[in-house]
Structure 1
């Protein structure tokens, strides 16, 4: 196991900053996900930790040792790329053994370590097969085994399941998490999939524009977003415009109280925090679309002012397009600006309830 420390890391590619002033401590045996949209800097950070990109500023330390200028082959890291990058002319055994042969390990030791690595990823007895004989999921298992066989202190995973179908992706991420916990290996995992990060991570680093927006446990990232960007990026979130006067939102449909200055703001409301009841009264929300997912019903509403609004209700409820609905919420967050921290909003009993 090892501790990874990133200090004020930055990277410029000439046309702008891909990563700006990123600092992070990853504890022994911890799995941390770098999460963000395309271009947020997550893969660039991973490549700098692996030695494939040189930082423009900052330092990278593993167990307190500065490895910022150390080439990839001399770092105690193992990298798994999105593309499997396997050699098709080699057998599975030869693919996994390649790095060990470069280190000139004795043949019996190479055999032992390759067999252990293949067994670890569920491919015991597959060593003689060729790459073209494997499914996409099996090929990615080989890529993981090829990194693990080198016994790295830090495992780096760059969207390793992005090319796989959803069912296989979910199964493999569970297997990788099991392997990571069994080995206790410190892991940095890059993904743009929110579900993947929430399911895998001990902590999540949310990135936008090369900067860190929030670092926290998955449950806190979801329930206590630090900025408006995080609130909107993680899961589904309704943003309802409101004008505050004397600590109250001037909206009859969502009478929110919050300790914010007078002026415009956004009410941030999770779809699952919404309950609906039917109404024949004019001026209320109308159902635009209702989709039954089996486990829940996803309702797309249009509020009286034209704002689109999403609600998630139990599967036993039945709603049809065109029906009038009265939404009520248990609570919300109030944001004044994109980078502002939220203020909890207390939703009073709606006047129409």
Structure 2
């Protein structure tokens, strides 16, 4: 196991920054996901840790040792790329054994370590196959085994499942989590998939435009987003523009108690925190469509200001298209200038209903 320390790392390209003043500590055995949209700097940060990009400023330390300027082959890191990067004219065994051969290990030791690595990733009988004979998922397992066989202190994974189908991606991420937990290896995992990050991470680093927006465990990221960007990027979030006056936030279709200073505000409400009741008001929200996911239903509602929001309901819910509805809210967030200024997890539905016609 190892501890990774990143101090004020920057990477500039011309006049702009791909990564700008990022500092992060990753503890022994921790799995941290770098999450963000394309261009957020997450892969550039990972490549700097692996030695494939040179930082413009800052330091990278592993167990207190400065590795900032070491080449990749001299770092105690193993990197798995999205593209697999396997040699197609070699067998699976030879691909995995390559790094061990460079270290001039005895043949018997190489064979033992490669066989152990193959067994670890579920490919015990695949050593003599050519990589071109493998499926995409099997090739990614070989790439993972090739990194793990070198026993790195830090494992780096750069969107390794992005090219795979949904079911295979879910199965492989579960396998990677099991292997990582069993080995206790410190791991950084780059992804733009929120579901992947929520399923894998001990902590999530949400990145945007080269900076860290928030660093926290998955449940905190989801339930207590610090910024409007994080709230919208993790999970599904409804955003409504409202005006606060005398401790009350007012929208054409919704009124909520909000003890902050008067002025405009953005309300953030999760679909599962909303409920619907039929309404006879001619200007109430109107059901646009209902999507059945089996375990639950998602109802699209068109509000009077043109906003479309989503409400989660049980599997037996009924909401015909065109039905007028009133909105109930059990929890919400409030944002100003992109930052969260208020959050509640208390049940406000009864209060909201009593205020809805105020």
Once the two structures are TM-superposed, the CA of residue 252 in structure 1 deviates from its matched residue by: 5.7
Residue 352 of structure 1 deviates from its aligned partner by: 5.2
Report the Cα distance in structure 2 between the residues aligned to 1:258 and 1:301, rounded to whole angstroms: 23
Residue 175 of structure 2 corresponds to which residue in structure 1? 175
Deviation at 1:314? 0.6
SS in 2 for 1:349: helix
CA distance in 2, matches of 1:318, 1:268: 25
Preserved contact between residue 252 and residue 304 of structure 2 (Cα < 8 Å): no
Between 1:46-55 and 1:247-256, the stretch displaced more is: 247-256
Offset, 1:344: 1.8
Aligned counterpart, 1:197? 197
* 1:242-294 CA distance string (max 9 Å, x none): 01112211236322222322111011000011111222331111011111111
Distance 1:199 1:212 in 2: 20
Q: Which ranges of structure 1 fall in alignment gaps of 5 or more residues?
A: none
User: CA contact under 8 A between 1:285 and 1:304: conserved in structure 2?
Assistant: yes
Paired residue for 1:271? 271
Secondary structure in structure 1 of the residue aligned to 2:294: coil
Could you tell me how far apart the structure 2 residues matched to 1:218 and 1:20 are? 23
The secondary structure found in structure 2 opposite 1:178 is helix
Deviation by residue 1:82-113 (Cα, 9 ceiling, x = unmatched)? 00111110000000001111111110010010
Structure 1 match to 2:117: 117
Instruction: Count how many residue pairs are aligned between Structure 1 and Structure 2.
Output: 352
* Residue aligning to 1:21: 21
Aligned CA RMSD, in angstroms, stands at: 1.2
Native 8 Å contact 1:173 1:196 kept in 2: yes
Which deviations, in whole Å up to 9, do the C-alpha atoms of 1:193-244 show, x marking residues without a partner?
0000000000000000000000000000000001111001100100100011
Task: Tell me, yes or no, if the aligned pair for 1:228 and 1:342 is still in contact at 8 Å.
Answer: no
Q: C-alpha distance in 1, partners of 2:208/2:352?
A: 37
Q: 2:316 maps to what in 1?
A: 316
The whole-number CA distance in structure 2 between the counterparts of 1:15 and 1:129 is 48
What is the distance in 1 between the residues matched to 2:162 and 2:53? 22
Name the TM-score, length of structure 2 as normaliser: 0.96
Confirm or deny: 8 A CA contact 1:290 1:298 kept in the other structure: yes
Q: Which residue of 2 aligns with 1:12?
A: 12
In structure 2, the partner of 1:243 is 243
Partner of 1:289: 289
Greater Cα shift, 101-110 or 245-254: 245-254
1:116-135 correspondence runs (5 A)? 116-135=116-135
Q: Distance in 2 between matches of 1:29 and 1:131?
A: 31
Q: Which moved more, 1:147-156 or 1:239-248?
A: 239-248
Superposition TM-score, scaled by structure 1 size? 0.97
The range that moved more, 29-38 or 242-251, is: 242-251
Three-state SS of the structure 2 residue aligned to 1:255 is: strand
Residue 166 of structure 2: aligned partner: 166
Q: Distance in 2 between matches of 1:186 and 1:136?
A: 25
1:32–1:201: 8 Å Cα contact kept in structure 2?
yes
1:261 aligned counterpart, secondary structure: coil
Gapped runs of 5+ residues in structure 2? none
Look up the match of 1:155: 155
Structure 1 residues 252 and 14: alpha-carbon distance in aligned structure 2, compared to 1, 3 A threshold: closer
